[in-house]
Chains A and B, each alone.
Chain A
Amino acid sequence: AQSVAQPEDQVNVAEGNPLTVKCTYSVSGNPYLFWYVQYPNRGLQFLLKYITGDNLVKGSYGFEAEFNKSQTSFHLKKPSALVSDSALYFCAVRTLSPGTASKLTFGTGTRLQVTL
Chain B
Amino acid sequence: DAGITQSPRHKVTETGTPVTLRCHQTENHRYMYWYRQDPGHGLRLIHYSYGVKDTDKGEVSDGYSVSRSKTEDFLLTLESATSSQTSVYFCAIRLAGGSYNEQFFGPGTRLTVL
Residues of A near any B CB (own CB < 8 A): 32, 34, 36, 41-46, 49, 51, 90, 94, 96, 100-109
Contacts and interface: CB of A to CB of B under 8 A. Distances in A.
B58 interface: yes
Looking at chain B's contact residues, the main secondary structure is strand
A66 B104 CA distance: 22
A104 B103 contact: yes
Interface of B: 1, 4, 31, 33, 40-45, 48, 50, 56, 58, 90, 92, 94, 99-100, 102-108
Contacts of B104: 46
12 contacts: A42-B108, A43-B90, A43-B106, A44-B92, A46-B103, A90-B43, A101-B31, A102-B94, A103-B48, A104-B103, A105-B45, A108-B42
B89 to A, nearest CB: 11
B97 to A, nearest CB: 12
B107 A106 contact: no
A103 to B, nearest CB: 6
A46 B1 contact: no
A74 B18 CA distance: 41
